[in-house]
Amino acid sequence: MDISNLSGVATNLVSNALENISKNNSLVVSENENTDTAFSNILSSAMGLVNQTNYLSEKAEQAEIDFALGNADSTHDVAVAQQKAYISLQYTVAIKNAVLDAYKEIMNMQI
């Protein structure tokens, strides 16, 4: 699986959420429908990223097992699968860290 589509996921995730909020011309927190929709979009994008990372990890593990059992001869295929899983995991962790930093920043805001 090609992981080139992972680049810009965080930017797209945030811009889509902001776009959905701005469509309704409101950033008022009391309107739960707008914030629920934005949060739902962010959460579904994040879960998609986690699911893709999990898929790549399982694919790399299966490539290792196939190689160990002698079902595959190419170490290159195993290395590529491992690298895809590793990069995807790094990207997922980076997104998680950015979301947590943003959450901490919001929690430290004074009202």
| CATH dotted code for 8-107 | 1.20.58
What is the CB neighbour count within 10 angstroms for residue 81?
Answer: 22
Q: What proportion of the chain, given as a percentage, has pLDDT over 90?
A: 41
For the chain, how are helix, strand and coil distributed in percent, rounded to 5? Answer: 80, 0, 20
H or E stretch at 108: none
Q: What is the block-wise mean pLDDT of the chain (111 residues), using blocks of 10 residues? A: 51 57 48 67 85 94 94 92 94 90 89 78
Domain ranges for the chain: 8-107
